[in-house]
Each structure stands twice: as structure tokens, then as C-alpha cells.
Amino acid sequence: MAVLKLAVNFQDIFKSSFLENVASVSLLDMTLALILAFGIGMFIFLVYKKTFSGVMYSSSFGVTLVALTMVTTMVILAVTSNVVLSLGMVGALSIVRFRAAIKEPLDIAFLFWSIAVGIVLAAGIIPLAVIGSLAIGIILLVFVNKKSFVNPYILVLQCRDPQAERQAEEFLNASTRRCVVKSKTVQQGFIELNLEIRLRDDSTEFVNTLAAQEGVHSAVLVSYNGDYMG
């Protein structure tokens, strides 16, 4: 009797609830979900690469989108398999703080897209994840890449005197769809203008003609997304 009691005590000591959760998610479900998450994550990465219109392209952000899709899938698979784990996960994630600044508004959409795909895949709604991602990707490719010449540009113009300034502005009003002065710096024998312009088409040959005018020191055309100047 004492031997039997001792054996039961040893079983209680080595009994682990951790090992009981090993089979809570089947190997097939894990493999299929992670493969699909990787595939759709790569699709999101390619759409991001094709639609990027910022100043500096970050390949690490694209890789983050793939990883975020797979990590979200893994977390949701674990949460859906255990109610107690889901409560603990809510508490753990509530103390996480991300300090990375999002510079492009469209990047937020890609982040939410990756997270949403991970959640939907882990929930087993595969058609929604695939068809929804295709629809979102097509919409982004169509609308983000449309007619680049309607985007605003900033022209940094340096002139010698007010007469050269007036001639340059008249030329710009005739050569562009829209021309608005954003800022003006005046020094002795030197005038610098920052103008927001919108092109009539995708040609920038007018900048060459403008730079060759009498009294114009330089003309620099840069892409402008509205974040750098008020």
C-alpha cells in the first residue's frame, strides 16, 4: 500500500499540464496555416513594393509584413486552442509598446492588412483571407499607381531680382496645371521661392527651360507628399 501511494505521488510530481497542450493544435493545421500566412504575406510584401511612393524605401518593413502575418497566425492559433491562454495573452499584449514611427499613412493599412490576414487564417476562414487579399491588392495597385503627374511637387527656385521672379512665375503658370507659393526667402540680390506645382502631364522639360531663363540661378524639382511643408 505504501509503495502504491509513493508511486502515485511520483506521478503527481512529474505530471505536467504543459505537455497536455502539445496536441491542442494538430500538426496539419499548423503547417497549412503557416504556409498560407507566408504566401499571403509575400503577396502583401510585393504589393507594398509596387505601391511604395515615399522618400526612402525600407526593405525591412516589407519583411516585417511577412513576419507579422505569420506571427499573428501563430498567436491566434494558440489563443483559439485554449481559453485560459487567451486571457493571459490579452494581459501580456496590453503591456507591449511599439516606438517605431509610421512615416507613411499607407503603411498603417499594410500593417492592419497583415494582422487581419493572420487572424482570419488562424480562424480557418481561408477563402476570406485569399479573396480579400486579392481584392485589396488589386485596389491598391490601381489607385496608388494612377497618373503620377497629378501628384504635387515642390519647386525650389532661386532668382536674382523681382523681375526674374515675376517672369518665372508667369512661365510656371503657363506651363503647369497649378502653381502656389508656399514660402519665400529674400536676401540682398537673392530670392528663393518654394512653390507647390501640379504638372499638366508626366514631362518635366519645363524645369530645364526655367533654369535657363535670365536671372534664374537654379530650379530644383522634388516630389512632395504634403508632410514636409505647411
Give the pLDDT confidence of 90-133 residue by residue, as tens digits.
555 555 566 666 777 788 899 999 999 998 998 888 999 999 99
Mean pLDDT of 213-221: 88
What confidence tier does 19 reach under pLDDT thresholds 50, 70, 90?
low
Best CA proximity match to 174, nearest among 222, 149, 214, 209: 209
What confidence tier does 8 reach under pLDDT thresholds 50, 70, 90?
very low
Instruction: Say yes or no: domain 149-223 is CATH 3.30.70.260.
Output: yes
Q: Where are the domains of the chain?
A: 24-144, 149-223
Q: Rounded to the nearest 5 degrees, what angle is found at the Cα of 216, between the Cα atoms of 170 and 163?
A: 55
Q: Rounded to the nearest 5 degrees, what angle is found at the Cα of 78, between the Cα atoms of 77 and 81?
A: 85
Give the pLDDT confidence of 29-55 residue by residue, as tens digits.
888 999 999 999 999 999 999 888 766
Least confident of 139-153, 167-181, 195-209: 139-153
Residue 2 has pLDDT above 60, yes or no: no
pLDDT at 230: 39
For every residue of 49-95, which 3-state class applies, written as one string? HHHCCCCCCCHHHHHHHHHHHHHHHHHHHHHHHCHHHHHHHHHHHCC
- Distance, CA of 181 to chain centre: 30
